[in-house]
Chains A and B, each alone.
Chain A
Amino acid sequence: MLLISNIVDGLSLGSIYALIALGYTMVYGIAKMLNFAHGDIIMVGGYAAFIAMATSWCPIWLALVITVTICTVLGVVIEKLAYRPLRSSPPLAVLITAIGVSYLLQNIALLTQSATPRMFTSIVDGMPPFLQVFKGRGAVFFSENPYKAEGVKSDLTISMETFLAIIVSVIIMVALTLFINKTKAGKAMLACSEDRGAAQLMGINVNATITLTFAIGSALAAVAAILMCSSYPLLTPYTGSMPGIKAFVAAVFGGIGSIPGAMVGGVLLGVIEILSKAYISTQLSDAIVFLVLIIVLVVRPTGIMGKKINEKV
């Protein structure tokens, strides 16, 4: 029973990583750049949602719309100002710029929102709808549990946040895959990712396509922001940075550029992290996570679901 409960905790953390990793992998797959500011766009989204929800007139759905809009605009603006001028520069220059943008966003947030942490109010409450026959906080499957000390009421709980994070990341994964493979704009993205020069010669507007990629990536960041802050409700100017890095690891783990890979990588990373905390040591959990990553990359350098791309000669 404890194992199932631990796996649920792992899924909860992993689905958040997966959501963020989807944004990372999307931008990497198309624009071939690591947008290290992705985690900080999430932070901005968190503050946008927090401020919108703190006002009395703003219902939750409107707060969501506002957050998605702000993040999308921010992503497009960052791409225009910081990344587009470097389109033909070496990848390292773009990477450093992305790190610069990340620090810029953190410090702007620090200046305008101060370092005081905020408690985010979850957008959802209680338990998933199909489990509502059970009483208590979250969905309780078992009321008695021999492993627990006295005073502990329940064992297995699935909060609405976890449920939502998993469902939303699956929906986004499917929608993104369909969008890229079935629509014209999506196919243009694929073409850009394969050969930018050839795509341009075929009449594809490369700049517009990459802008669209950033718009979608940042909108995903907004969704991730709301779900992450609902599950782990502490909001500071640095909220996005560590989950961002872990999600980047998840994206590499799953095979960067692969959309289902980001999902698989994120969930696996979360589950491994929680299980190593539970059964090995809370002190060593991060070391174990990265050890697994190294082993996977040694065996499969392109990640679990990454495609092997032959270098063009």
Chain B
Amino acid sequence: MNKLLKRSVAAAAAAAMVLSFTGCKKSGDSGKLVIGGIGPITGEAAQYGIAVKNGMELAAEEINANGGINGMTIEIAFEDDQADPEKGMNAYNSLKDKGMKLLVGTVTSGSCAAVSELAAKDGMFLLTPSGSAVNCITAGDNCFRMCFTDPNQGAIAADYIADNLSAKKIGVIYQNDEDYSTGIFNGFKEEAAKKGLDIVAETTFTKDSATDFSQQVKQVANSGAELLFLPFYYTQAALVLQEAQKQGLDIPVFGGDGLDGLIGVLKDKVDVADGVYVMSPYASTSPEAKSAAFTKAYQDKFPNVEVNQFAADGYDCIYAVKKALENADVKDASISAKDLGDKLKAAMLEIEFDGVTGKTKWASDGEPQKAPKVLQIVVADGKGSYKVL
């Protein structure tokens, strides 16, 4: 009996293997283009990876439903890297084994810098949705970016504050063990000096000390700052805003795209975020038509997940790739990854893309050329929404 069971299991396993092989073969013939994705699906940065993956899948589903790209259907193969460079490189190699022809990724900066080295060596086209550190795409001319770089975002913030707001004395809290936060802060500091803004308080926290903000807020309050600049993510910002309210610090707050998500996380305490400026190319509650349509489609497909800018970046990446593939007139999915990379990197410089995160062109260094959008959170009747400025 036991033997028989073992045999039948073995037979079933063998049959499954054969079946899966034939499955592979077939998909190659029918013109299925495998687009790789890498990002954290588990671990502390999981919410960003999951959002990008969902956005990519939503776009792929829409594209396939509308006849694909030049007759090819697309398939998303997404691997988890837990925001870890080493795991990212493993994920890249395993995706190549799965027949990846181009990569949309990786989601986080540290991992992206490592993976882009490999992609540059292979000539594999790489478009990172959200890797915002400068060195994410410096490895080769086949690497492109969808989002702003961190220093760039900081500089734009300083320009905006100097040109549009009355505050001259700025208090800053930033996370000094996070590339994203220090990157924005350094860009901000440099531009602020040129624009005559005075940084009167410069305080920091780390991932490990991100629970108690009483001292940072107190120092900003004591410095006489007229505006609080928060270049980090909304989870910690939610705590900072509540601490500021507790201490009675009532000055305007300005933040980068990391602050999108404040309304969702604060829920019934959203009144502390009233008037906060968020510099984000996309906001889930933005009244703009394109953003609103994406938000609705996303929420229909993933009803239990918060939509954020990462999802929009992932979604835009797939459509940008579509546009580039059409521009390069790629019709055959069996093209080698290197040949495809060569065609796409030329096409990327020619296309003009209008997506959920705004209109953009790409410069030869792979950086997107898009105008920033500044939104302001408005709270009415206990509900938060964005106003486009």
Contact = CB atoms under 8 A, between A and B. Distances in A.
B104 to A, nearest CB: 20
A236 B215 contact: no
A191 to B, nearest CB: 38
A202 interface: no
Interface string A245-285: 00000000000000000000000000001100110001101
A149 B225 contact: yes
A291 interface: no
Nearest to B222: A147
Contacts of B304: 114
A203 interface: no
Interface stretch (B6-14, B18-26, B202-210, B279-287): B202-210
A35 interface: no
Interface string A6-25: 10010011000000000000
Interface size class of chain B, counting residues whose CB lies under 8 Å from the partner chain: 35 or more
A183 interface: no
B205 A149 contact: no
A211 interface: no
Interface in B344-386: none
B218 A5 contact: yes
A234 interface: yes
B17 interface: no
Interface string B238-267: 110010011111110000000000001111
A283 B176 contact: yes
A242 interface: yes
Residues of B contacting A: mostly: helix
A283 B208 contact: no
Interface string A156-196: 01010000000000000000000000000000000000000
A28 interface: no
Interface string B264-277: 11111100000000
Interface stretch (A38-46, A92-100, A115-123): A115-123
A151 B250 CA distance: 6
A143 to B, nearest CB: 11
Given A110-B42, A115-B46, A117-B235, A149 B224 contact: yes
A4 interface: no
A157 B204 contact: no
Contact of A117 (B43, B215, B250, B265): B265
Given A151-B250, A274-B212, 13 more contacts: A5-B218, A9-B215, A13-B214, A119-B269, A148-B222, A149-B224, A234-B236, A234-B239, A274-B214, A274-B215, A277-B215, A278-B215, A283-B204
Sorted nearest first, the 7 A-B pairs with minimum C-beta distance are A153-B248, A115-B46, A277-B215, A115-B47, A149-B224, A9-B214, A232-B211
